[in-house]
């Protein structure tokens, strides 16, 4: 059976972009091609060369055009490799400029940045809404509510890594992804303490170096809250008809290791937090005011919610809405 010789980066990107195009997981992609999951795994893990027919179907599905590819005949096992490059990419996965950057970055050598406040915030963002694959990292955000925050992240990445990432808008959801392609870059993410693939299955945790300096701790916390946390309003109703209104900060994760370390970071700064299973709470006027002053929000969505809640839920006591003649009490 004729096979197509591709670099590992290009072969993985073909398989991954086909999955994204069809909006399925790996098992769904295997069903689409009517093959076993193990066979597909051999292809996207680049342990086997792609059959010519599958390669053609992937190119047609994704819109990715491959130039100078090498076709291996039936005795391809004896053949030695060739080189190929991505000339242009379909609109379904990349923008043209993003694809060019992805192609350049795939073989580019990335040096590890020094530990810094900006790097710690980036790690916090990745722990929240980020993901690392074999040849790419991505951060998923809400298109309607977090576009401005996405621009902040792009500038942050540029400062830390001297790279301008690409942006991909998902077709059928209110979400967009910030992406950096490159096997070497993805490997550096592992060196910095992140994990590849399913974060929960890999028992991911906050990298140990974050706890070395208070400035790293605060920046990492900010990145995690900005992505996977929220600002919420609380109401405690009393029997006498009054209700106490306040503001809290909430974070949720299915990783017990991450939740434990997250709580330890807050406690190392002197905060009193409450953790119940997958749920993390920071409450109390003094603590919330201190959080906003010392750590703050880079995500304007959270900052806007906090500022709006201050007017009507800023730690005040009011009569219930059934009482027309009531005045706020601090």
Is 306 found in the same domain as 224?
yes
- The boundaries of the domain holding residue 123 are 117-206
Q: What local confidence, expressed as pLDDT, does residue 281 receive?
A: 95
Distance of CA 163 to the CA centre of its chain: 17
Domain boundary among 166, 187, 206: 206
Residue 243 lies in a domain: yes
Q: Residue 278 falls within a domain, yes or no? A: yes
Q: Do 226 and 306 belong together in one domain? A: yes
Distance CA 329, CA 292 (A): 23
Which domain CATH number covers 53?
1.10.260
The count of residues in the chain is 330
Is residue 106 one of the residues assigned to a domain?
no
Q: Name the packing angle between helices 214-228 and 256-268 (round to 10°).
A: 130
Answer yes or no: do 229 and 175 share one domain.
no
Average pLDDT for consecutive 10-residue bins of the chain (330 residues)?
A: 78 84 84 85 83 88 76 52 33 38 54 93 96 90 94 96 89 87 89 84 84 96 96 86 89 91 95 92 94 96 92 77 42
Same domain for 136 and 181, yes or no, is: yes
Identify the helix (H) or strand (E) that includes residue 122.
helix 117-129
Overall number of domains in the chain: 3
Question: Among the three residues 206, 223, 251, which one is the final residue of a domain in this structure?
Answer: 206
Burial 256-294 (b: 16+ CB within 10 A, else e): eebbebbbebbeeeebebeeeeeebebbbeebbeebbee
Task: Return the pLDDT at 108.
Answer: 63
Asked if residue 148 belongs to a domain, the reply is yes
Residues 218 and 196 in one domain: no
Task: Give the burial class of 69: count Cβ atoms within 10 A of its Cβ; 0-12 exposed, 13-18 middle, 19 or more buried.
Answer: middle
Any idea what the CATH number is for the domain that residue 256 is in? 3.10.28.10
Do residue 224 and residue 293 come from a single domain? yes
CB 43 within 8 A of CB 4: no
Tell me the whole-structure pTM to 2 decimals: 0.65
> What pLDDT is stored for residue 109 in this prediction?
67
Q: Helices 300-313 & 143-161, crossing angle to 10 degrees?
A: 130
């Amino acid at each position: 059976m004729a096979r197509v010789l591709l670099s590992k980066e290009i072969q993985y990107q073909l398989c991954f972009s086909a999955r994204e195009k069809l909006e399925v997981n790996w098992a769904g992609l295997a069903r689409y091609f009517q093959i076993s999951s193990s066979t597909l795994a051999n292809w996207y893990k680049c342990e086997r060369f792609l059959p010519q027919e599958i390669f053609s179907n992937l190119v047609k599905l994704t819109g990715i055009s491959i130039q100078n590819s090498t076709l291996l005949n039936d005795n391809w096992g004896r053949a030695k490799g060739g080189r190929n490059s991505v000339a242009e990419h379909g609109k379904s996965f990349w923008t043209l400029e993003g694809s060019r950057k992805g192609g350049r970055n795939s073989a580019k050598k990335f040096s590890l940045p020094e530990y810094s406040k900006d790097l710690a915030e980036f790690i916090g963002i990745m722990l929240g809404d980020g993901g690392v694959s074999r040849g790419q990292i991505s951060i998923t955000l809400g298109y309607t509510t977090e576009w401005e925050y996405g621009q902040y992240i792009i500038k942050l990445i540029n400062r830390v890594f001297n790279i301008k990432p690409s942006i991909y808008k998902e077709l059928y959801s209110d979400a967009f992804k910030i992406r950096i392609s490159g096997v070497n870059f993805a490997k550096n993410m592992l060196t910095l303490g992140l994990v590849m693939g399913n974060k929960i299955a890999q028992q991911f945790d906050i990298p140990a170096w974050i706890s070395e300096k208070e400035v790293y701790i605060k920046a990492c916390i900010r990145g995690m809250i900005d992505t996977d946390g929220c600002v919420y309003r609380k109401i405690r109703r009393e029997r006498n008809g009054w209700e106490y209104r306040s503001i809290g900060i909430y974070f949720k994760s299915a990783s017990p290791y991450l939740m434990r370390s997250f709580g330890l970071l807050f406690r190392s700064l002197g905060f009193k937090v409450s953790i119940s299973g997958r749920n993390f709470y920071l409450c109390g006027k003094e603590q919330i005011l201190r959080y906003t002053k010392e750590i703050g929000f880079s995500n304007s969505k959270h900052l806007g919610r906090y500022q709006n809640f201050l007017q009507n839920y800023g730690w005040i006591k009011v009569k219930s809405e059934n009482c027309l003649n009531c005045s706020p009490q601090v």
